Amino acid sequence: MVGGLPVRALAGDLTLHLPLTCPRCGQVAVHLWFREAGGLGASWAWCSACRATSHSPMDGTPSWWRNLDLPGVALTPLPDQLDRAAEQLDAHVNHLLGAARASSADS
Ligand SMILES: [Zn+2]
């Protein structure tokens, strides 16, 4: 299910491009989000279409991750509010992943 996505990202998979195809319903509607705080992380992965959801604490966040302030969006276990900003969140993640791909190609 969608719960494998944060693990893939944390393991260094830079090929992700959001939104992703949902393994449950087949819609291209899966989003991914992280929050880093004091060296610890949390992840959210969810499908806007069928509501498959995964939220878990993690040992850190991917090396490319940068927190984004989201005024008016509460980071609750269920990503209802995140989903309303999904387009903005996807753009942030895709931008970070693109930068990480570019810098890994340089080295
Ligand atoms: Zn789905």
- Distance between Cα 49 and ligand 1 center (Å): 5
Among 25, 30, 29, smallest CA distance to 2 is for 30
Instruction: Give 33-81 as a 3 state SS string.
Output: EEEEECCEEEEEEEECCCCCEEEEEECCCCCCCCCCCCCCCCCCCCCHH
Please say whether the beta carbons of 37 and 28 come within 8 A: no
- Distance between Cα 2 and ligand 1 center (Å): 9
Q: What is the mean pLDDT of residues 15-41?
A: 96
Looking at the predicted structure, is the pLDDT value of residue 27 above 90?
yes
Range of the domain at 71: 4-106
How many CA atoms, within 13 angstroms, populate the side-chain half-sphere of residue 79? 27
Enumerate residues with CB within 5 Å of ligand 1 (an ion).
22, 24-25, 47, 49-50, 52
Indicate the average pLDDT of the chain.
94
Looking at the 3D structure of the chain, how many domains does it have? 1
